Amino acid sequence: MSDVPRKLPAIAEIEKAPTLEVLEGLRVETLGKNGSVTALLKSLGSMSDEERKTQGPIIHALRATVTEAIAARKSTLEDAELDRRLATERVDLSLPARNIPKGSVHPVSQVMDELSEIFADLGFAVAEGPEIEDDWHNFTALNIPETHPARAMHDTFYLEAAEGAEPMVLRTHTSPVQIRTMMSEAPPIRIIAPGRTYRSDSDATHTPMFHQLEGLVIDRGIHMGHLKWTLLTFLKAFFERDDVVIRMFPSYFPFTEPSADVQVGWSFEHGRRIIGGSENWMEVLGAGMVHPRVIANCGLDPDEWQGFAFGCGIDRLAMLKYGMTDLRAFFDGDLRWMRHYGFSFLDVPTLSGGVGA
Amino acid sequence: MKFSLSWLKSHLDTDADAKTIAETLTRIGLEVEGVDNPAEALRPFKVARVLTAIRHPQADKLQVLSVDTGDGQPLQVVCGAPNARAGMIGVFGGPGTYIPGSDMTLKQASIRGVESNGMMCSSRELELGDDHDGIIELSGDAPVGASFAEHAGMDDPVFDVAVTANRPDCMGVHGIARDLAAAGLGRLKPLDVPVIEGNFDNPVAIRIEDPAGCPAFFGRTVRGLQNKASPEWMQRRLMAAGQRPISALVDITNYVMLDLGRPSHAYDLTTLKGAIVARKARPGETVLALNEKPYALAPDMTVIADDNGAHDIGGIMGGEHSGVAEGTTEILLEIAYFTPERISLTGQKLALTSDARSRFERGVDPAFLDDGLAILTGLILDICGGDASRVTRVGSPPIVEKRVAFDPALTRALGGIDVPESEQRSILERLGFRVDGEVAIPPSWRRDIDGPADLVEEIVRITGYDNIPLTPLPRAPGVAPPTATRSQTAERRIRRAAAARGFDEAITWSFISDGDAALFGGAAHIVANPISEDMKHMRPSLLPGLAAAARRNADRGATAIRLLEVGRRYLAEGERPTVGLLLSGDRSPRGWQSGKSQKYDAFDAKAEALALLNAAGAPTANLQLTMGAGDSWHPGRSATLGLGKAVLAAFGELHPRIAQALDLPAGTVAAELYLDAIPAPRVSGRTRPAFAPPALQPVSRDFAFVVPEGVTADVLVRAIRGADKAIIADARLFDRYEGEAGLSLAVEVILQPGEKSFTDAEIGEVSAKIVAAAAKLGATLRD
């Protein structure tokens, strides 16, 4: 048995192997089934114990050296190969990526969500009612008899009716929801009722269809001080400013007594109209204490239950907060307008994240 | 309601200035919409005297004037007015002055070679009247050099007040003065009511045949009068109110209406024949009203008639035939009480508004007939002369003494403000109420007061709403509980899911055209008085509105349109919450990766419908698809998604004829979701079931079937899923091929092993079940 060489000539070849293929050939020559190092390992079995004691470590060390050398060379060659490939793999990432269309939420919907969130904190649920109303709910129950001059002011749309039948109307306000709520729910009641309303009117600030918000509180001991506080609290929250101020003036609605017009202060900031401060005033709400006759019409005892109601234009609130100037554009479906004034789906109003976007 | 400050002061003793008065009016509920001082525009005009007037050397119709404007330096002015002459006093505007009536600014100019330094003005040039025949001629004692506006008494602010429908008493200046006095802004001057007994019996018989419409008619004759121009003070007040002076008789009746809120009427006696009767109109009767329009009357309307027929639409408008004219010398004066409800209905039916109607339908003071007639007669006798008859009083006005419970504590309980009881009483008394212990008796002119809440309003409005302290609404303890209903939550989720998927949310009109409604089965509700024919039919579908919006956007050059609306359909059986969506144009634009642009197809509509139904909480995995969504849709490229009998959505291509009628861009697809059909989910609390992932990996096997005609992919996949529910976790169609053998559908089936891996035998078993299930549909395994 010849001495085991301490260093195989193969090591040098391995370290110089030009390609992965040559390196693989050298691996087979040394560590393969019939390789030279494999042969040496196999020879250990036929050695005497003593011989194995001396030769064993040498042969194992040799195998380790060869293995390491191959691994090292392989890594070097692979790195070089990768570098070469990477040098060819280039794309112009300034090319446009696939476009995902971006949608929008209509400002009226957004504002309705904001109102729902604000009023939920004040304990108001959201109530709904039909837009095609009967005369009783839209007028009579609200203390507006047929001959009342206020009826003419409503510019009512009537629906065609069969001969002899009383025509239905497109609700001229969201107030009939007050009636429906008082008739179907037991007090105490706190609701807001946003929705579509209709009047026969058309110019830059009036459209035959628009959106109104109704508010109603029916309880014991509710008075005008509560009304004033609620409206101020709501407007401060909605316009997200502490300097929002309101003033209330006596007015007239057949369904409230006393009745009030509510003005909010506004100022010019950077040439734009901003709600807040008291440089100027504009009317934003109609309100009042629910007329005892209205409460009685709904089957409640006006000596026990009293409360307030208010109404305002949702489209108008949107315009005042977000700066649109033409109401007609709200209902035109112009994609450019919707993308300009619309909201991201992520703009969900929350108390913690804010009710504006 | 417009009136001047000086007019108001004829009823109110006050030192308050216009600003304080305006603020107070608004504060007590008489909203001031504007205060306008006509003197502002006339500030630069001065009273000036014409010193000399000589003919213009170059023009026959012009004169060259020398004008003294008060500063001692006569100015040369060229003037074309025929009445310009030396010595007259008129109104002068110098260079730089804006002339409102001709909308120009004066310049120093040379007129036919003669220098002119200003202008002597006509009434029309100052917008004081129509007169343009000559320049304004002032009285000889007018102070030269003084401000013309001041001299003419025009420095008198005019208030424009919006009087609410419950306050007919404030549709006269006197009533407004009363409210101001009650608010502490001065003292109300009592009315000066002359006593005029009359010198002869009223020769005209008056009868009431319709006491329900006209319960009282007081009248008297005045003869031997002269209907000339009304006096300047009255003309000035009428003009402040926005009325054009016409003649003394017309002006006086108008003035009494504006001053005291009391309409009246004067008939030219020579046009009347026989007795004057307040009666119901006869069928087919017409009146030519003072506005020169004929009105066809109905028997539920009250008219004033004589033997010849109806002359006057009672309480609304007089007739052209019997009205007073320039030559009128004999009149019958009418002060009547018309029932408000009747006036309102008649006015609505005739679509006729008038100052008289707006007062009568709100309710004039029923106790102010005699005094009103006396004041009216007094003015006529003063201004027009003549001789008045005694008064004929027929019927009686409905003077009802209302007694309203007065509870001082209610002011706090309802109004939210503490007002001392003595002050509460005082306010009511200043407004004309009588307070008798626990009862308040409203004055005859306050028809609107009929309950304790009305008293609270009176007390609180005079005290000032500003003084009501803010009182927080009681708040329930704890964090505010959620308030949204399931359907509200569903709508919100759909809206935001859609926005996340690239839809722009539109809001379109609830009413559409007849034609558009007909395309979707026709409208169940039709507006009888639409604003236009295009906005007449309550929509049976959201798609026509979205289609119109898509069309407009396409016309503006939009190439990718994804529109959504959440709203209602208005059906015969009710209003249905609905989502409409429309995809039009490019699903993906041409691109460097994808090549040509790709259009939407029905599967895009399906994907969106499913995604949004899912967002709304619908069990989308269980939905059954039925081909053909109805007459409005393409029969072979539309379908509905349902659960049992309920249809949750329709989607696909619209019927080509409808797409064409709506002028939809080619390749538009749509869907409609019927939110009320989505079943309520079973509520089982917030806790989820325990997480128990299967221990072993699922196995996938592919099957390809040749299916007979009429078997849809959905039916096949459903059948396969149901073949062995314990093992088959999912089945998904992944290929579709139409060859000689017919339609072949390939389905990937996911098998989920339980405790142990599948044996070949088990896989064989389930495969056999799958093939058998497919065979029931007539499908055979493809070779």
| pLDDT for the residue B535 | 94
Of A149, A201, A247, the CB nearest to B344: A149
Alpha-carbon distances of B54 from A6, B58, B693, rounded to whole Å: 143, 12, 115
pLDDT cut 70: percent of chain B above it: 100
pLDDT category at A294 given cuts 50, 70, 90 is very high
Query: Could you report the per-residue pLDDT of B185-222, keeping only the tens digit for each?
Result: 999 999 999 999 999 999 999 999 999 999 999 999 99
Q: Is B675 a residue whose pLDDT tops 60?
A: yes
CB distance B347 to B164 below 8 Å: no
What is the interface pTM, i.e. ipTM, of the complex? 0.87
Mark yes or no for CB contact B552/A103 under 8 Å.
no
| pLDDT for the residue B739 | 85
Q: Is B155 a residue whose pLDDT tops 60?
A: yes
How far does B590 lie from chain A, in Å, by closest CA? 11
Residue B607: both structure tokens together: 């994907």
Classify the phi-psi angles of B557: left when phi > 0, otherwise alpha if psi is within -120 to 50, otherwise beta. Answer: left
Which residue of chain A has the CA closest to B478? A121
Q: Is B131 a residue whose pLDDT tops 80?
A: no
When scoring A134, A135, A147 by the number of chain B Cβ atoms within 10 A, the one with the most, hence best to mutate, is A147
**What DSSP element (H or E) covers B118?**
none
Number of Cα atoms under 13 Å in the Cβ half of residue A314: 27
- Beta strands B206-208 and B63-68: pairing type? unpaired
* A contacts of B456 (beta carbons < 8 Å): 257-258
Using CA atoms of B178, B180, B185, B186 in order, give the dihedral in degrees to the nearest 10. Answer: -20
Of B457, B469, B495, the CB nearest to A105: B495
How far does A208 lie from chain B, in Å, by closest CA? 8
Neighbours of B2 (CB within 10 A): 19
Q: What does DSSP assign to residue B477?
A: S
Mark yes or no for CB contact B499/A217 under 8 Å.
no
* B contacts of A233 (beta carbons < 8 Å): 472
- Beta strands B276-280 and B206-208: pairing type? parallel
Mark yes or no for CB contact B531/A202 under 8 Å.
yes
Of A95, A201, A257, the CB nearest to B457: A257
Alpha-carbon distances of B765 from B124, B529, B648, B746, rounded to whole Å: 106, 71, 37, 19
Of A101, A200, A330, the CB nearest to B531: A200
| pLDDT for the residue A4 | 53
* B contacts of A125 (beta carbons < 8 Å): 483, 485
Query: Could you report the per-residue pLDDT of B648-664, keeping only the tens digit for each?
Result: 999 999 999 999 999 99
pLDDT cut 90: percent of chain B above it: 75
Which residue of chain A has the CA closest to B360? A149
Q: Is A321 a residue whose pLDDT tops 50?
A: yes
Residue B167: both structure tokens together: 């306050």
Query: A306: which strand partners?
Result: A219
Residue A214: both structure tokens together: 């109704």
| pLDDT for the residue A152 | 65
Query: Nearest CA to A181 among A300, A288, A313, A302?
Result: A300
CB distance A296 to A302 below 8 Å: yes
Which residue of chain A has the CA closest to B418? A225
Q: Is B132 a residue whose pLDDT tops 90?
A: no
Mark yes or no for CB contact A159/B527 under 8 Å.
yes
Of A104, A208, A335, the CB nearest to B499: A104
Mark yes or no for CB contact B483/A196 under 8 Å.
no
Residue B355: both structure tokens together: 């100052």
Residue A341: both structure tokens together: 């004034």
Which residue of chain B has the CA closest to A112? B492
* B contacts of A229 (beta carbons < 8 Å): 470-473
CA distance A108 to A347: 13
Mark yes or no for CB contact B591/A126 under 8 Å.
no
How far does A105 lie from chain B, in Å, by closest CA? 5
pLDDT category at A102 given cuts 50, 70, 90 is very high
Q: Is A2 a residue whose pLDDT tops 50?
A: no
Of A103, A145, A168, the CB nearest to B503: A103
Classify the phi-psi angles of B610: left when phi > 0, otherwise alpha if psi is within -120 to 50, otherwise beta. Answer: alpha
Query: Could you report the per-residue pLDDT of B405-453, keeping only the tens digit for each?
Result: 999 999 999 999 999 999 999 999 999 999 998 999 999 999 999 899 9
Q: Is B109 a residue whose pLDDT tops 90?
A: no
CA distance A31 to A43: 14
Of residues A287 and B155, the one with the higher pLDDT is: A287
* B contacts of A184 (beta carbons < 8 Å): none
Of B27, B416, B593, the CB nearest to A226: B416
* B contacts of A251 (beta carbons < 8 Å): 29, 31, 164
| pLDDT for the residue B154 | 77
Mark yes or no for CB contact A122/B591 under 8 Å.
no
* B contacts of A232 (beta carbons < 8 Å): 470
pLDDT category at A149 given cuts 50, 70, 90 is low
Q: What is the mean pLDDT of residues B688-711?
A: 92
How far does B447 lie from chain A, in Å, by closest CA? 13
A257 Cβ contact partners less than 8 Å away, ≥ 6 residues apart: A288, A289, A291, A292, B451, B453, B454, B456, B457
B47 Cβ contact partners less than 8 Å away, ≥ 6 residues apart: B70, B89, B90, B91, B92, B138, B142, B143, B144, B145, B146, B147, B148, B151
| pLDDT for the residue A338 | 96
Of B484, B496, B589, the CB nearest to A345: B496
| pLDDT for the residue B60 | 84
* B contacts of A119 (beta carbons < 8 Å): 483
How far does B677 lie from chain A, in Å, by closest CA? 18
Classify the phi-psi angles of B270: left when phi > 0, otherwise alpha if psi is within -120 to 50, otherwise beta. Answer: alpha
CB distance B167 to B14 below 8 Å: no
Query: Nearest CA to A288 among A222, A209, A346, A234?
Result: A222
CA distance B406 to A191: 31
Query: Could you report the per-residue pLDDT of A224-259, keeping only the tens digit for each?
Result: 999 999 999 999 999 999 999 999 999 999 999 999
CA distance A309 to A224: 10
Q: What is the mean pLDDT of residues B517-521?
A: 94
Those of residues 246-265 in A touching chain B at CB distance below 8 A are 247-252, 257-261
Q: Is B665 a residue whose pLDDT tops 90?
A: no
* B contacts of A108 (beta carbons < 8 Å): 507
Among A35-39, A101-105, B531-535, B726-730, name the one with the lowest average pLDDT.
A35-39
Looking at every residue in chain A, the average pLDDT score rounds to 91
- What's the full length of chain B, in residues? 783
Neighbours of B595 (CB within 10 A): 9
Query: Could you report the per-residue pLDDT of A205-217, keeping only the tens digit for each?
Result: 789 999 999 999 9
Cα radius of gyration rounded to whole Å, chain B: 41
Q: Is A1 a residue whose pLDDT tops 60?
A: no
| pLDDT for the residue B71 | 83
When scoring A168, A171, A192, A251 by the number of chain B Cβ atoms within 10 A, the one with the most, hence best to mutate, is A251
Q: With helix as H, strand as E and coil as C, how does B463-480 read? A: HCHHHCCCCCCCCCCCCC
A58 has a chain B CB within 8 A of its CB: no
Residue B242: both structure tokens together: 């926005």
Those of residues 211-250 in A touching chain B at CB distance below 8 A are 217, 221-230, 232-233, 247-250
**Number of CB pairs, chain A paired with chain B, less than 8 A apart:** 264
Q: What is the mean pLDDT of residues B483-495?
A: 93
How far does A271 lie from chain B, in Å, by closest CA? 24
| pLDDT for the residue B337 | 97
Those of residues 119-138 in A touching chain B at CB distance below 8 A are 119-126, 128, 130-132
| pLDDT for the residue B682 | 80
Mark yes or no for CB contact B566/A148 under 8 Å.
no
Residue B746: both structure tokens together: 């390939």
Of B165, B412, B453, the CB nearest to A149: B165
Mark yes or no for CB contact A258/B456 under 8 Å.
yes
Residue that is written with structure tokens 């009533």 in the block: B175
Of A103, A122, A335, the CB nearest to B499: A103
Mark yes or no for CB contact B488/A126 under 8 Å.
yes
Mark yes or no for CB contact B470/A232 under 8 Å.
yes
Residue B266: both structure tokens together: 């004067």
Mark yes or no for CB contact B529/A200 under 8 Å.
yes
Mark yes or no for CB contact B499/A105 under 8 Å.
yes
